[in-house]
């Protein structure tokens, strides 16, 4: 496009704007109505408006910081103050008393009636200035590109928008049936809405033009997942018939019986594994539902068939715990397990890689390190991925590429404790079959949850002592911020260190341990092992213990700054207790005062232990992007659709996808290419 130099191009590309069509879909975040004037007396606080009047007086002050105040009035006899904190002298001089002024902004109550802070404005001459003819779009800002320039760029891009015959990909019968505009009409309406557009609908994101784009976008993502599934299942996989004895041996050796739900889900898995095409199955189950043993049994099917299985977990702590659990179960059966994490380096790494490549290691457990270059399996028949919500589709595909012999691809078993509402699961896991372990092992008592203000923290000492006196153990979780950037990990670690010291001073007779993300893996491991072995009574930890940590004897969980965490994370953390038969409790410490949403979150947790109820609530409070995590499939990358708002379109999306894949797969490909891009990604899958 003319007028875009290399520097601007780079800035645009940084926001994903590389092609004309990206600009077509760069939709306004809001609209300014400069088509009319509002009498000053009719202004309402909080409602943006355009006014025109005469300047009464101006005043500049530099006492605390520079400030320019301009008082204006119009024939409605209302007065309005414009207030500027950044201005140049020249600008101040232009506000001569008596001059005519037009301003656009959002009035707020000020000291002397309504005022607008930093409105956009024009000092008018004596001739009349025309009003705009259409609503002015306001685009999401792009660093280094001024709003005017951006507006012009989009306008020019729209000038090149092809006609319906070239642009439209959805059959026009469908559109007509559903009362939706064509893509071209929808795009034009949203960039340049007619003055009589229903602003209410538009602001709520429910205008037919928006619904139309959301529908196509959701369709594209759904199709892309279905495509991946289709192309993956076109490959052969090694069928793993039920023949060896290891499965039966493990079942006999376990200290418990599988729950009905576990048996049912394992049956579903077995049926998939017996087929000559790759299994693509997601096992959902609330925290503590017992997914690990199902994974172990599935792995045994591969091992029984003389092949390899791999288990990948998102954190080293969790992977390590899986390694310990599975060693306990499988090594007595004579099965060789290899451990691979990023920190396994040098000679040790070479040795592990050797075992993996030769097939000496029948089961390989680790972190992302499993997917790296240089990790070659002899014959990987099953890839198990735990806590799927932490990985993206890409990473799953990478493990697949570690495939077995003869171009066979491994079966995939994906496990997640993040319960996802049904509608959302349909969209997020369109490429997977879903099994649900919807039952907890017997004898669990629901965790009692209380929320108390941080001021009452000293009372917790008694609670901790009481739990320990009963022979139980407790967690104290220090949390600060949700994102685990480097800085957050460090601050969290400091907080944990301080809490650790305070608690140690308060209870010198209690055995207290510490685990945080900044400790050496050896130290972390040692503290976890000691806690698990009952050699520590209280474990002060950061959110590194969030997923999967399993110490059934722990019966008390204290979570600091609970008001800052999302529901899903709190539920995960709380899931660390209540894993044995003891009455367990969870204390949510919060900093008063609580905001409305935080209060609702804590109330939800107090009222229910059901992960699905909590997930529905989470979806309501936060929206799906956060619920699923930004690393989730394509979901978090929606430009226009919003799953909590547009969830009602999902059934339609599904049936359209069915029809397209059956009747016009080439159209499906073009829809994917338009919205998701990189068609090659799955074409080679």
Question: Which of 288, 314, 392, 634: binder of ligand ADP (CB under 6 A)?
Answer: 288
256 touches ligand ADP (CB under 6 A): yes
From Mg ion, ligand ADP, none, interface partner of 394 (C-beta below 5 to 8 A by class): none
Residues 6+ apart with CB under 8 A from 329: 250, 253, 254, 293, 296
3-state secondary structure 637-660: HCCCCCHHHHHHHHHHHHHHHHHH
In the DSSP assignment, the letter for residue 31 is E
CB of 292 to Mg ion, least distance (A): 5
Q: How many CB atoms lie within 10 A of CB 370?
A: 26
Is residue 305 at the binding interface for ligand ADP, with CB under 6 A as the rule?
A: no
287 lies in the site for ligand ADP, by CB under 6 A? yes
The size of the interface with Mg ion (CB under 5 A), counted in residues, is: 1
Residue indicated by tokens 């004895």: 245
Write out the binding residues for ligand ADP, residues 418-457 only, by CB under 6 A: 441
571 binds ligand ADP (CB under 6 A): no
Q: Does 578 sit near ligand ADP (CB under 6 A)?
A: no
Find the part of the chain contacting ligand ADP (CB under 6 A) among 197-205, 227-235, 257-265, 308-316. Answer: 257-265
Please tell me the distance from the alpha carbon of residue 89 to that of residue 83, in angstroms, as a whole number.
15
CB of 291 to ligand ADP, least distance (A): 4
- Residue 180 touches which of Mg ion, ligand ADP, none (CB < 5 to 8 A by kind)? none
288 binds, options ligand ADP, Mg ion, none, Cβ within 5 to 8 A by partner type = ligand ADP
Q: Which residue's Cβ lies closest to ligand ADP?
A: 290
Give just the sign of the alpha carbon dihedral 524, 527, 533, 538. negative
Distance separating the N- and C-terminal Cα atoms of the chain: 34
Compute the least distance from the CB of residue 413 to ligand ADP, in Å. Answer: 13
The answer for residues whose C-beta is within 8 angstroms of residue 168's C-beta and 6 or more apart is 182, 183, 184
Residue (89 or 255) nearer to ligand ADP, CB: 255
Q: If binding is defined by CB under 6 A, does position 293 make contact with ligand ADP?
A: yes
Helix (H) or strand (E) holding 254: none
Does 259 help bind ligand ADP (rule: CB under 6 A)?
A: yes
The reply on whether position 548 binds Mg ion by CB under 5 A is: yes
Report d(CA 30, CA 110) in Å as an integer: 25
How many angstroms separate the CA atoms of 325 and 552, rounded?
13
Q: Please identify which residue in 193, 285, 419, 421 interacts with ligand ADP, judged by CB under 6 A.
A: 285
DSSP code string of 130-184: PPPSSPEEEPPPBTTB-HHHHHHHHHHHHHTPPPHHHH--S-HHHHHHHT---HH
Cβ proximity of 216 and 671 under 8 Å:
yes
Can you say whether the dihedral through the CA atoms of 338, 342, 343, 346 is positive or negative?
A: positive
Decide if residue 366 touches Mg ion (CB under 5 A). Answer: no
CA–CA separation, 18 and 75 (whole Å): 49
Only one of the segments 62-70, 194-202, 546-554, 585-593 lies at the binding site for ligand ADP (rule: CB under 6 A); that segment is 546-554
Report how far apart, in Å, the C-alpha atoms of 383 and of each of 186, 207, 281, 318 are.
43, 44, 11, 17
Closest residue by Cα to residue 274 from 309, 305, 252 = 305
Tell me the window of 21-29, 268-276, 545-553, 577-585 that interacts with Mg ion (CB under 5 A).
545-553
Minimum CB distance to ligand ADP smaller for 290 or for 421? 290
- Residue closer to Mg ion (CB basis): 317 or 640: 317
CB of 578 to Mg ion, least distance (A): 14
Minimum Å distance from CB 320 to ligand ADP? 13
Q: Which listed option, ligand ADP, Mg ion, none, makes contact with residue 579 (CB within 5 to 8 Å by class)? A: ligand ADP
262 binds ligand ADP, rule: CB under 6 A: yes
Q: Using the rule CB under 6 A, which residue among 81, 238, 292, 585 binds ligand ADP? A: 292
Residue 278 binds which one of ligand ADP, Mg ion, none, with CB within 5 to 8 A depending on kind? none
- Residue closer to ligand ADP by CB (options 221, 574) is 574
Closest distance between Mg ion and the C-beta of residue 529, in Å? 18
Contact in structure between 438 and 261 (CB atoms under 8 Å): yes
Smallest separation (angstroms) from ligand ADP to the CB of 371: 21
Nearer to Mg ion, 366 or 548 (CB): 548
Of 412, 414, 320, 410, whose CA–CA distance to 365 is shortest?
Answer: 320
Q: What is the DSSP letter of 257?
A: P
Among 290, 392, 404, 634, binds ligand ADP (CB under 6 A): 290
d(CA 582, CA 567) in angstroms, rounded, equals 24
Provide the edge-to-edge strand list for the sheet that holds 433-437: 337-340, 363-366, 308-312, 380-385, 411-416, 280-285, 433-437
Q: Rounded distance, CA 567 to CA 562, Å?
A: 9
User: Looking at 252-260, 456-464, 588-596, 649-657, which segment touches ligand ADP (CB under 6 A)?
Assistant: 252-260
Q: Candidates 256-264, 267-275, 543-551, 656-664 — which segment interacts with Mg ion by CB under 5 A?
A: 543-551
Contact region with ligand ADP (CB under 6 A), list: 139-147, 281-289, 554-562, 636-644: 281-289
Q: Rounded to the nearest whole angstrom, what is the least distance from the CB of residue 294 to ligand ADP in the complex?
A: 8
Name which of Mg ion, ligand ADP, none residue 419 binds, using a CB cut-off of 5 to 8 Å depending on partner kind. none
How many residues touch ligand ADP under the rule CB under 6 A: the total is: 19
State in angstroms the smallest separation of the CB of 398 from Mg ion.
22
CB nearer ligand ADP, residue 578 or residue 634: 578
* Nearest to 622, CA basis, from 544, 569, 546: 569
Q: What is the CA radius of gyration of the chain?
A: 30
Containing 361, the helix (H) or strand (E) segment is none
- Indicate left, alpha or beta for 240 from its phi (over 0: left) and psi (-120 to 50: alpha): beta
The 10 Å Cβ neighbour count of residue 7 is 10
What does the DSSP 8-state code read for residue 407?
Answer: G
* Among 144-152, 532-540, 542-550, 571-579, the segment contacting Mg ion (CB under 5 A): 542-550
Residue with Cβ nearer ligand ADP (69 or 291): 291
> How far apart (Å, rounded) are the C-alpha atoms in residues 27 and 638?
12
Site mask for ligand ADP (CB under 6 A), range 371-410, x = bound: ----------------------------------------
Residue number with CB closer to Mg ion (217 or 550): 550
State how beta strands 308-312 and 363-366 pair. Answer: parallel
Comparison of 415 and 650: residue with beta carbon closer to ligand ADP = 415
| Residues of this chain that bind ligand ADP (CB under 6 A) | 256-259, 262, 285, 287-293, 417, 441, 548, 550, 552, 579
| Residues of this chain that bind Mg ion (CB under 5 A) | 548
């Amino acid at each position: 496009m003319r007028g875009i130099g290399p520097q601007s191009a780079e800035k645009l590309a940084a926001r994903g704007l590389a092609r004309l069509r990206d600009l077509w879909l760069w939709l306004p975040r809001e609209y300014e109505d400069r088509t009319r004037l509002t009498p000053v007396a009719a202004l309402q606080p909080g409602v943006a408006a355009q006014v025109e009047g005469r300047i009464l007086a101006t005043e500049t002050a530099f006492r605390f910081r520079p400030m320019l105040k301009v008082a204006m009035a119009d024939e409605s006899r209302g007065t309005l103050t414009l207030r500027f904190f950044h201005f140049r002298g020249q600008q101040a001089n232009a506000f001569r008393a008596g001059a005519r002024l037009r301003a656009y902004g959002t009035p707020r109550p000020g000291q002397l009636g309504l005022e607008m802070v930093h409105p956009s404005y024009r000092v008018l001459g004596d001739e009349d200035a025309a009003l705009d003819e259409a609503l002015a779009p306001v685009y999401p800002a792009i660093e280094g590109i001024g709003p005017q320039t951006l507006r012009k760029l989009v306008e020019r891009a729209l000038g090149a928008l092809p006609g319906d015959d070239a642009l439209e990909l959805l059959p026009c019968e469908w559109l007509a049936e559903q009362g939706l505009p064509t893509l071209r009409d929808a795009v034009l309406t949203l960039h340049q809405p007619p003055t009589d557009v229903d602003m209410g609908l538009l602001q709520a994101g429910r205008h037919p033009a928006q619904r139309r784009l959301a529908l196509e976008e959701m369709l594209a993502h759904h199709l892309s997942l279905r495509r991946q599934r289709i192309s993956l299942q076109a490959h052969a996989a090694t069928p793993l018939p039920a023949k060896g004895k290891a499965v039966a041996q493990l079942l006999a050796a376990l200290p418990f019986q599988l729950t009905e739900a576990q048996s049912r889900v394992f049956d579903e898995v077995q049926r998939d594994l017996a087929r000559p095409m790759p299994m693509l199955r997601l096992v959902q189950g609330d925290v503590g539902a017992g997914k690990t043993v199902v994974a172990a049994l599935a792995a045994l099917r591969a091992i029984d068939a003389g092949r390899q299985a791999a288990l990948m977990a998102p954190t080293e702590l969790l992977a390590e715990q899986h390694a310990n659990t599975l060693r306990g179960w499988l090594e007595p059966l004579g099965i060789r397990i290899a451990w691979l994490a990023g920190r396994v380096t040098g000679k040790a790494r070479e040795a592990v890689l050797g075992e993996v490549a030769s097939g000496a290691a029948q089961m390989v457990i680790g972190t992302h390190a499993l997917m790296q270059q240089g990790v070659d399996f002899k014959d990987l028949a099953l890839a198990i991925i735990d806590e799927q919500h932490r990985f993206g589709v890409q990473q799953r595909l990478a493990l697949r590429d570690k495939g077995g012999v003869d171009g066979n691809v491994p079966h995939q078993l994906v496990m997640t404790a993040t319960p996802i509402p049904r509608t959302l699961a349909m969209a997020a896991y369109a490429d997977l079959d879903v099994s649900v372990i919807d039952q907890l092992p017997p004898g669990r008592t629901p965790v009692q949850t209380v929320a108390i203000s941080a001021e009452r923290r000293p009372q917790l000492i008694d609670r901790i002592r009481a739990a320990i006196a009963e022979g139980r153990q407790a967690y104290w979780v220090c949390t600060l911020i949700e994102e685990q950037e480097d800085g957050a990990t460090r601050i969290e670690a400091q907080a944990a260190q301080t809490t650790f010291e305070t608690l140690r001073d308060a209870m010198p007779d209690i055995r207290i341990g510490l685990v945080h993300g900044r400790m050496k893996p050896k130290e972390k491991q040692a503290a976890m092992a000691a806690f698990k072995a009952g050699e520590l009574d209280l474990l002060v930890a950061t959110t590194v213990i969030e997923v999967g940590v399993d110490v059934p004897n722990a019966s008390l969980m204290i979570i600091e700054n609970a008001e800052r965490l999302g529901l899903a994370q709190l539920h995960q953390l709380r899931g660390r207790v209540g894993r044995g038969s003891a009455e367990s409790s969870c204390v949510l410490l919060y900093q008063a005062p609580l905001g409305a949403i935080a209060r609702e979150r804590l109330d939800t947790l107090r009222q229910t232990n059901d992960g699905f109820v909590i997930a529905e609530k989470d979806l309501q409070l936060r929206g799906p992007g956060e619920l699923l995590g930004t690393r989730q499939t394509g979901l978090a990358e929606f430009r226009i659709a919003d799953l909590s708002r547009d969830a009602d379109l999902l059934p339609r999306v599904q049936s359209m996808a069915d029809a397209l894949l059956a009747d016009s797969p080439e159209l499906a490909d073009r829809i994917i290419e338009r919205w998701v891009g990189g068609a090659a990604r799955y074409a080679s899958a």
